[in-house]
Amino acid sequence: MATGETGFEDVAYDLISVQYHSLKAGHDYGQYVRDADNAGLQDIAAFFREVMEQDSARARRCHEFLRQISGTEQGGPATQ
């Protein structure tokens, strides 16, 4: 069982990292949507909304995987 420098299982750390970055990006995309809306560029605003939804789904999926490995050996010490 390999652990990263943090002492946590690499998979748990990786999932948390992807989840964090997806949520952070989703927050930032909200501003991009407003910018495109304010510029009257509805097709671009729709694109940013789509990207935001994809990141939200990605973060949700990470959460599901983290619950799946919680309490298991694969989850590492943070999830036991």
Report pLDDT digits (tens) over 3-32.
Answer: 556 555 588 889 999 999 999 998 899 999
Can you give the pLDDT at residue 11?
Answer: 87
CA dist., res. 35 & res. 18, Å (int) = 25
Residue 50 forms part of a structural domain: yes
Can you give the pLDDT at residue 10?
Answer: 82
Number of other CB atoms surrounding residue 70 within 10 Å: 14
Residue 55 forms part of a structural domain: yes
Residue 48 forms part of a structural domain: yes
Residue 6 forms part of a structural domain: no
CA dist., res. 57 & res. 75, Å (int) = 21
Residue 80 forms part of a structural domain: no
Q: What percent of the chain has pLDDT over 70?
A: 78
Q: How many domains does the chain have?
A: 1
pTM over 0.85, yes/no? no
Domain that holds residue 35: 11-74
Can you give the pLDDT at residue 1?
Answer: 43
